[in-house]
Amino acid sequence: MIKAKKKFGQNFLKDESIKNQIIQSMPNDDKLVVEIGPGLGDLTKELLKASKRVVAFEIDLELCGYLQNIFKTEIQSGQFELICGDVLDEYQNTSLREEEYHLIANLPYYVATNIILKALDDDKCMSILVMIQKEVAVKFASKSGDKTFSALSILANIIAKSQILFDVGSQCFDPPPKVTSSVLRLVKFSKYLEKDLFETTTEVEQFKTFLKIAFRQPRKVLIKNLQHTYQKEELTKLFDILKIELKSRPHQLKISDYHLLFKNLNK
């Protein structure tokens, strides 16, 4: 019997109806499916029934051996490829795969935000369907004006349609996590490097830094956060030109306001 390892964020999904709901929410095409953290392979089994090809990344070598055994036939036929190692090593400054793919996973919570940001950056990733901690899912799916609108909401919503599909209680897992989970779907309609957004990957990184500054203290007025880095006079002038109220708090601006502020402040 394989025991769940806390250090790898292992909470295995056991509820059949949740697995089915995830499969029902998959995109309806023949593109490659990438799963991160197949664990004991319960979701993988369903993904293999529903898609032509699946590639999975598993960090736990004990689980890798187990998966190689139970999916021997699918590995031999080429329908399934199992890569044993840390997916973040594979994501270093490059696309995870050479062909377009959909990311579908019950993500380990300790690296979920990081993995989603890498997948958003990766132009080969067409959509993301992931189970993550509810609190984090809300951040990615919030819209301008919501109290929970954050830097993550902007990075997601600038290039994808984001939506929380449903919540999943801790009793659906073994061992049960301490938090409620949600299934989040992000379907990309654009890429960061398309002409009207950013010109280089460096500029995308600068935008991320700019958002960190803007949301440094999310309950404070935005201009106060920005004043740590930019001149007050320049900001006041720009807010006036862009018709942004001086008393606005970070969650109250539209994504396009952030894009314009960034472009003007970094000319």
Residues that bind ligand SAM (CB under 6 A): 8-13, 36-40, 42-43, 57-60, 63, 86-88, 106, 108, 111
Smallest separation (angstroms) from ligand SAM to the CB of 104: 10
Coil, strand or helix at 26: coil
Smallest separation (angstroms) from ligand SAM to the CB of 27: 18
Identity of the residue, 140 or 192, whose beta carbon is nearer to ligand SAM in the bound complex: 140
Q: Long-range contacts for 40-47 (Cβ within 8 Å, ≥24 apart)? A: 40/2, 40/12, 40/66, 41/66, 41/67, 41/70, 41/71, 42/12, 42/13, 42/14, 43/13, 43/19, 43/104, 43/105, 43/106, 44/71, 44/80, 46/19, 46/20, 46/22, 47/23, 47/104
**Encoding tokens for residue 7?**
């250090």
Identity of the residue, 81 or 203, whose beta carbon is nearer to ligand SAM in the bound complex: 81
Residue nearest to ligand SAM (CB): 37
Identity of the residue, 108 or 250, whose beta carbon is nearer to ligand SAM in the bound complex: 108
Identity of the residue, 170 or 229, whose beta carbon is nearer to ligand SAM in the bound complex: 170
Full DSSP string of 51-115: -S-EEEEE--HHHHHHHHHHTHHHHHHTSEEEEES-HHHHTTTS-S-SS-EEEEEE--GGGHHHH
Smallest separation (angstroms) from ligand SAM to the CB of 2: 10
Identity of the residue, 36 or 155, whose beta carbon is nearer to ligand SAM in the bound complex: 36
